[in-house]
C-alpha cells in the first residue's frame, strides 16, 4: 500500500483591490514547477520554521487569538506571518505599518527600497525579519481575515493543509511576479477569472475555483472581509476518483 503523505502546513492570501470592479491578484506558477505548474493561483506557500519567529512581528492579533481563529492549539500566528511573507516574496506587496500602527506611506524612494529588499529576500541574502527590524515596520494583520481551509486530496506527490486569508491591497504599491516561482501577475475580477477558466484561458486548481466562486458575488473588498470575519470556515478535503476512465476531483456535500 502506498504511503499516505501528511499534508504540509501552508498559507495563501487573496489580495483585493477596487476599481470599476472588485479584483483579486492571481499569479501564474512557473510551467516547470513541481506543483500545479502553469496554473493561476493566489500568492502563498508552506509555513516554515522561520515563520514561527516572524510571527512576533505581526500586529493585530496574538498567537492565542490567531490559533483560536484557525482551530489550532497553538502556532496559529505563524500562518498569518507566512501568508504576508509569501505575498511579499511572490507578488512584491508588503502589508506593514510602523510601530505606532500607521500604514506605510509610499513614495518613489520607498518603492525602490521595497524592490531591493524583495530581491535580497528572494535571493536568500537577507531575511524579512531583518528588514522589518531595520525599518521598524510590523506585519499588519489588523484587516486580514481567515476565509477558507483546504487540504490537498490523497494521491498527489505533494499535499498541503492550507489556510486561505484575505486582505486589501496596500495603498500605492505595485504587484509584480517574481520571475521564478511565478511568471505572470494579473488583477482580475473573480467572475471574469471563472469565465476565463471555463473558456480554457486560465488554468486553475479546484480550491482556487471554489474560492473565487465564494467571493464572486461581492463588489467591495470590505464586503469580502466582513463575510470572512462572520464565519468559521469548515475543512474542505476533496477526493480523487476515477469516473469514465478519467481521474476527477469531487467534494462531498458534508465538507462543502
- Residue pLDDT, tens place only, 201-251: 999 988 999 999 999 999 999 999 999 999 999 999 876 656 666 655 556
**Structural domain contains residue 197:** yes
Q: What's the chain's length in residues?
A: 256
Lookup: cell for 170: 496596500
- Residue pLDDT, tens place only, 138-177: 999 999 999 999 998 766 567 789 999 999 999 999 999 9
Confirm if 53 and 45 have CB atoms less than 8 A apart: no
Q: Domain count for the chain, please give it.
A: 1
CA angle 193, 225, 181 (to 5 degrees): 50
Structural domain boundaries enclosing 237? 8-255
pTM exceeding 0.85: yes
- 193 exposure class (CB count in 10 Å sphere: 0-12, 13-18, 19+): buried
Q: Coil, strand, or helix at residue 177?
A: coil
Lookup: cell for 117: 529588499
**Structural domain contains residue 1:** no
DSSP alpha helix (H) spans, the chain: 49-54, 63-70, 77-91, 108-122, 128-135, 190-198, 206-215, 221-229
CATH (domain of 31): 3.90.79.10
**Structural domain contains residue 81:** yes
**Structural domain contains residue 99:** yes
Instruction: Give the whole-angstrom CA distance, residue 171 versus residue 29.
Output: 25
**Structural domain contains residue 3:** no
Helix 108-122 and helix 77-91, axial crossing angle in degrees, nearest 10: 110
**Structural domain contains residue 2:** no
Mean pLDDT, the chain, whole residue set: 90
Bridge partners of residue 148, in order along the sequence: 164
pLDDT of residue 243: 63
pLDDT of residue 13: 98
Amino acid at each position: 500500500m502506498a504511503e499516505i503523505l501528511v499534508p504540509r502546513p501552508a498559507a495563501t492570501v487573496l489580495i483585493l483591490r477596487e476599481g470599476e470592479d472588485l479584483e483579486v491578484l492571481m499569479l501564474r506558477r512557473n510551467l516547470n514547477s513541481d506543483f500545479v505548474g502553469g496554473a493561476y493561483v493566489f500568492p502563498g506557500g508552506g509555513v516554515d520554521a522561520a515563520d514561527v519567529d516572524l510571527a512576533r512581528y505581526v500586529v493585530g492579533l496574538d498567537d492565542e487569538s490567531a490559533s483560536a481563529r484557525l482551530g489550532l492549539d497553538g502556532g496559529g500566528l505563524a500562518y498569518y506571518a507566512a501568508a504576508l511573507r509569501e505575498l511579499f516574496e511572490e507578488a512584491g506587496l508588503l502589508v506593514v505599518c510602523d510601530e505606532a500602527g500607521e500604514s506605510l506611506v509610499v513614495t518613489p524612494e520607498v518603492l525602490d527600497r521595497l524592490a531591493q529588499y524583495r530581491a535580497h529576500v528572494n535571493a536568500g541574502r537577507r531575511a524579512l525579519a531583518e528588514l522589518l527590524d531595520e525599518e521598524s515596520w510590523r506585519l499588519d494583520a489588523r484587516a486580514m481575515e481567515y476565509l477558507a481551509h483546504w487540504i490537498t486530496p490523497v494521491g498527489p506527490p505533494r499535499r498541503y493543509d492550507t489556510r486561505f486569508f484575505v486582505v486589501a491591497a496596500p495603498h500605492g504599491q505595485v504587484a509584480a511576479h517574481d520571475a521564478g516561482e511565478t511568471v505572470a501577475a494579473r488583477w482580475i475580477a473573480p467572475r471574469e477569472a471563472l469565465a476565463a477558466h471555463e473558456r480554457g484561458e486560465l488554468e486553475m486548481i479546484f480550491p482556487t475555483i471554489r474560492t473565487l466562486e465564494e467571493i464572486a458575488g461581492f463588489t467591495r473588498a470590505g464586503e469580502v472581509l466582513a463575510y470572512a470575519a462572520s464565519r468559521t470556515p469548515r475543512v474542505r478535503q476533496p477526493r480523487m476518483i476515477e469516473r469514465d476512465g478519467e481521474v476527477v476531483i469531487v467534494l462531498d456535500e458534508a465538507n462543502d
